[in-house]
Structure 1
């Protein structure tokens, strides 16, 4: 597999099949996006209280959200890039709220797995620099998400 995924299910609710689904889907995204072999990402599944605390601390938004990503390989202008042979490309962390995933799956009328996959792909695209701050950027990011989900076969 192109991507090593480190999972942390703090909710202890996901099945082994759901974990495999997300691992395979993230690897499909890595393949489509041309992420280098051996790159790493961390995915944590949390409750609403935990993601609200993270959202409040890092984004100054005091409410739960569905997914938050923290890119590790972004650097400021005054920072030096750490490169070298044998050093893995650490993409960052994706944090997904399981209660929000359930709520949104119900609201959109599709499966929990489809929503979980959507959020995981959304998270990894943020790690790769995609954003949706403008209407144009949102179009690009959301069409890329749908392209990856369709290529994997995870449809609504």
Structure 2
């Protein structure tokens, strides 16, 4: 197995070019290699501001849109729900094995931020994807030191993929 990207654009927010999906796959491989991750699956969903606003409100208690949300499958904090499933007798294990989690990106927010920061939309979506991936692995930016670590990791991966400002 290797790192796999499964993506969805069910809201059809914009036409997502095939080369962007290939670039996101490359970013996943680069970020995974940098973190010593060889296997796993990440699901990426593109949404509008309304959809991500609802998710941010419902799951984080923050009543506004955001640019990216990450939901780690391996997160077992005190507020997480227990995952209950039945394993088919023919199945050789946990059906969720290898699932790292879900990343949701607001394309509307990414467009606005790419304009604000003066770089391409592809670069902004790439940044948000790597940012979300690092959250799946447990990184955060709650204080300056953690933010500096996360920022350096993001910029290293984006630079390696040719997505500079």
How do 1:33-112 and structure 2 match up within 5 A?
A: 33-37=35-39, 39-76=40-77, 88-112=97-121
Name the CA distance, whole Å, in 1 between partners of 2:77 and 2:116. 39
Higher Cα radius of gyration: 2
The 5 Å alignment of 1:4-23 reads 4-12=4-12, 13=14, 14-23=16-25
Q: Report the 3-state secondary structure (helix = DSSP H, G, I; strand = E; otherwise coil) of the residue aligned with 1:138.
A: helix
Residue 87 of structure 2 corresponds to which residue in structure 1?
none
Q: CA separation in 2, counterparts of 1:59 and 1:129? A: 16
CA deviation after TM superposition for structure 1 residue 86, in Å:
6.5
Task: Kindly indicate whether residue 122 of structure 2 is the aligned counterpart of residue 113 of structure 1.
Answer: yes
Residue deviations 1:106-128, cap 9 Å, x none? Answer: 00000001001000000000000
How many residues were matched structurally? 150
Instruction: Note the aligned Cα RMSD (angstroms).
Output: 1.9
Q: Secondary structure at the match of 1:131?
A: coil
Give, in angstroms, the shift of residue 2 of structure 1: 2.7
Unaligned stretches of 5+ residues in structure 1: 80-84
Q: Distance in 2 between matches of 1:151 and 1:86?
A: 36
The alignment status of 1:129 with 2:130, answered yes or no, reads: no
Q: Structure 2 CA distance, aligned partners of 1:151 and 1:101?
A: 21
Give the stretch that moved more between structures: 63-72 or 6-15. 6-15
Corresponding residue for residue 160 of structure 2: 151
Unaligned ranges ≥5, structure 2: 83-91
> In 2 relative to 1, CA 21–91 (structure 1 residues): closer, same or farther, beyond 3 Å?
same
User: Which stretch of the first structure deviates more once superposed, 20-29 or 130-139?
Assistant: 20-29
Give the TM-score taking structure 2 as reference length: 0.84
